[in-house]
Each structure stands twice: as C-alpha cells, then as structure tokens.
Structure 1
Amino acid sequence: MINNSNKTILILGANSDVAKQCILQYREKGFSIIASSRNLDSLERFVKENNIDSSRITLNYFDASDFSSHQKFYDELPRKPNIVIYAAGFLVENQKALHDFTSAKQMMEVNYMGAVSILSIIAMDKSNESLERIIGLSSLSGVRGRKSNFIYGSTKSAFTQYLAGLRQELSSRNIIVNVLVSGYINTKINEGLDLNKSLLMEPDYVAKHILKAGSSFSIVPNFKWKIIYYILKVLPESLVAKLP
C-alpha cells in the first residue's frame, strides 16, 4: 500500500458534494487535507458528522471571487500541497444569466476567474517542489455551446482551456494537470433542475474517478457520459443547434 501520510491535498471549494466525498476518500488514503471554503460552519459540521480526525484536516476560509485575497491565502497555508483540486462552482439558469449580468458575472468569477487567479499562484510557486497534480472540476456543458446553458457552459469551457494550457506550462516540471468533465451529478447545485434521472451520477462515484486520475488530461466518469462527450465533440453545428 502506498504511504500517503506525508502528502497534503488542498481542496478549493470544499463544500461541494463532490469535494466532500473527495475529503472522505483522500482521508482513507492517508492524506492530510486542507479543506477551503467560504462556509466554514458547514465544513465543521461535516467533519464532526464523519468523525474526521482533526489532526488530519485543516479548514481554511477561501473566497474564489475575492481575487485580492488569494496570494495571502496561499502564503498562509500550513503546508504547501502535493495535490490541488479546484471544486468551487456556481450556477444560475441561462435565462436569469441573460437578463441579470450580476448573476452571470458571479458564475464567471467563481467558475473561471477565481480558478485562474488561485491556480496560477499555486502553479507558479517553484519553491513548492512537492506539487505533483492539479485537478479542475469542469463540465460537459463546456464542450459545445447550447442554448439552454451557454453562459454557464462558457465559464466551464474557458476553465477547461485554461487547464489545458496550464498542463503544457507545467509539463517540464512533471506536474500533471487533469480536468474532470462531468455530466449530471446528484448535487445541491443541480437541485430543482429537470434532469434525466438515468444519467445522474452520485458524488462518491465521481470522487472515485478523481482519486484514480492518471496521466491523461480529461477524466470523463461513466461510459454513458463518455459516449455523450465524444458525440458532442464531433456533432455538426446544425445538429447542436437542435439540442435543448
């Protein structure tokens, strides 16, 4: 069994349902965890409910959209990470985003701009020779623009392209960058949406794929979503326009 007791994982946006499952699963693997979020009360309850040893987890306040705080946040981490997961996310329905730019801007800030801000700080710290992997949680919504969610999708598409370039930038330092391109997940961010129940994945299932991340860039959990992913990539524009 691999000894991960000296390794640290930093989870940004640790209150997401997938991120919480990552906390549990990385804990089982022996990692020390830095869980960061705006809602520390929720994280504290989660830690207590799951009897997580306080010596193996640190809770830090992190606001993805407060860009000016990111350097200080990173400088004050108790340990520099071996693995970083960016799981922060925000979603509003497309029609609301079209008519309310404040909502659209919040999606841009959390899903993309905040990620670029903090991950660039982390990635460019060459003094952290322990950094080995960065994983960003994106979405199939970012594969092709569709009229039902193209503003949210544009933030995820931009995030995916950023990660692709960051992967190239860090390859000479043998740091792997992965993107999780997921379909529908049974999480609070999707509550109230009319989704195909047969395609819903559970957060613990998605987290298992994050833990198993290899050297390939894209992680697409579930064979059904893999098929959808490849179809979306090659589908002619005339057919994409007919999608909801």
Structure 2
Amino acid sequence: MDQNTNKTVLILGASSDVAKQAIKQYIQKGFFIIAASRDIESLEEFVQKSSLHSKVSVLSFDAVGFDSHQKFYNELPIKPHIVVYAAGFLVDNETALKDFKGTQQMMLVNYMGAVSILNIIAMDKSNKNLERIIGLSSLSGVRGRKSNFVYGSTKAAFTTYLAGLRQELKHRNITVNALVIGYINTKINQGLALNKNLVMEPDYVAKFIVNAGNTFTIVPNFKWKIIYLILKLLPESLVAKLP
C-alpha cells in the first residue's frame, strides 16, 4: 500500500493552473485532495474531465472572506497533512499605482488571506496530521524593482510570514516551505511581455510543490536560481538600474 494513501492535501486557490497540475501529481503519489477555491465551476469541470472525482473533494473558499475562514476550517471533512496556499492576484505596477483597488486586492489575496487561513490551520494543535505548509511566493518579492514593486511587496510580506511560521512550527516537526517562483505560462501572466527562455510550464512548477523537501526557499529551474542569487546579492545602486 502506498504510504500516502491515507494522507490528505488541502490546496487553497486550487483553480490556478499550477494548483491543478499539483492535484494530478499528488494523486499519482496516493494522496487524497481537498481542492478549495472561489471558482468552483472551473475546479469541478477540471475534476470531471480528468476523472479525478473519487480522489478529490471540491470546496468553496474565498481568500478574502476572512470571517468565513474559521468555519471553513472547522467543517473540513478531514484535517490535512499538507496545506498548499496557491491563491494569487496580480495587476501590473502602473495600474496598481493609479488604482488602489487593484493594490488592495493583491494585498488581500496574496498576503492577508494567506495569513488569516494559515494562522487558523497552524494554531490547531489538535490536528496531529499536519506535516507541511507550502506557500507559493514569487521572485518579485526578493528585491523592490521599478516594474513590479507593488505586487512584489505582497509576496515579500508572504515570504517573511512563512519564514517566521517555519520557526514557530519547528518544535512540532511541521515543515514550512516557500516556493519562490519566476515566470509561468499561466492565465495570470497572459498579456505580459515575458522572456520566453525563462517561462516555465505549470506541470514543471507543480513537481517542486509535490516533491518539496526540508529547504525553506525552493526556486524551480536553475536559471531562476541564478537570478534569485543575483537579486539577493546586487547592491542597491545596480538594482535601481533594473526594469
């Protein structure tokens, strides 16, 4: 019997392209999936088309519906062994600077919603199942750059939160990972002028989620690892010259 047969993965923001691929890959490893999203129709259609209905439970979850988060968690059919926060929202920097509604939505989905639900999950000490929490962050949050610092600031905050949560949960042997991701060929990035040599496919990124180890920061793709290190080490005067 597969050692993961009786284990459950809760994916929050499960209608994203990467999350859907992660669902498939977790199932291949024997996990049962609770797929939660505000976009129930998209999720249910995906589950039916992929013939995964016996291995996936689809639930409604609104990342910005803070008052509903405790009830959502309390009513889960099974308390999870692994939690993946994959919800995300993006508007371009120019729009974010001119229209606070877009900025606010990024803050709400990318950071505040994550902290709200993950605090509830992490602080439930009665859940002896919990082994791992994975948050999908971004290289945009590594350094503030002119082209995307508003979005990047929400991801930077999320990564910092995950780093502290990792320390908080270490004594309970719960691993926390931050997947720091570059460009992905997904609907959230459609219409953006991206370097095609750096764009990753959702199923490729999903492998790094499903096979997460003990390292806190996980950067898929060696090209992005190099970019990540350069961004971390560049002096401010050179960062200011980047787009």
Which bin holds the TM-score, normalised by the shorter protein?
over 0.9
1:151-190, aligned counterparts within 5 Å?
151-190=150-189
Unpaired stretches in structure 1, ≥5 consecutive residues: none
Q: Which residue of 1 aligns with 2:12?
A: 12
- Could you tell me which amino acid in structure 2 is paired with residue 174 of structure 1? N
1:47-68 superposed Cα distances (whole Å, 9 cap, x missing partner): 111111x232110000001111
1:54-203 map, 5 Å: 54-203=53-202
In structure 1, C-alpha distance between the alignment counterparts of 2:161 and 2:215, rounded to whole Å: 16
What runs of 5+ residues in structure 2 fail to find an aligned partner?
A: none
- Structure 1 length as normaliser, TM-score? 0.98
**1:28 & 1:139 partners in 2: Cα distance?**
26
Look up the equivalent residue of 1:55 and give its one-letter code. Answer: S
Deviations 1:191-237 (A, max 9, x none): 00000000000000000011111111011010000000000000010
Residues 156-209 of structure 1: per-residue CA shift (max 9 Å, x gap):
000000000000000000000000001101100000000000000000000001
RMSD: 0.8
- Look up the equivalent residue of 1:5 and give its one-letter code: T
Q: Percent identity?
A: 73
For residues 50-92 of structure 1, what are the alpha-carbon distances to aligned partners after superposition, in whole Å with 9 as ceiling and x for unaligned? 111x232110000001111000000000000000000000000
CA distance in structure 2 between the aligned counterparts of 1:168 and 1:69, rounded to whole angstroms: 27
The offset of 1:2, in angstroms, is 4.3
Q: Contact 2:107 / 2:154 at 8 angstroms: preserved in 1?
A: yes
TM-score by length of 2: 0.99
In structure 2, C-alpha distance between the alignment counterparts of 1:74 and 1:125, rounded to whole Å: 10
SS in 2 for 1:74: helix
The 5-angstrom pairing of residues 46-61 of structure 1 reads: 46-52=46-52, 54-61=53-60
1:171 match: secondary structure: helix
Separation in 1 of the partners of 2:154 and 2:175?
A: 22
Partner of residue 41, structure 2: 41
Tell me how many residue pairs correspond in the alignment. 243
- Asked whether the equivalents of residues 2 and 30 of structure 2 are also in contact (C-alpha less than 8 Å), the reply is no
Amino acid at match of 1:163: L
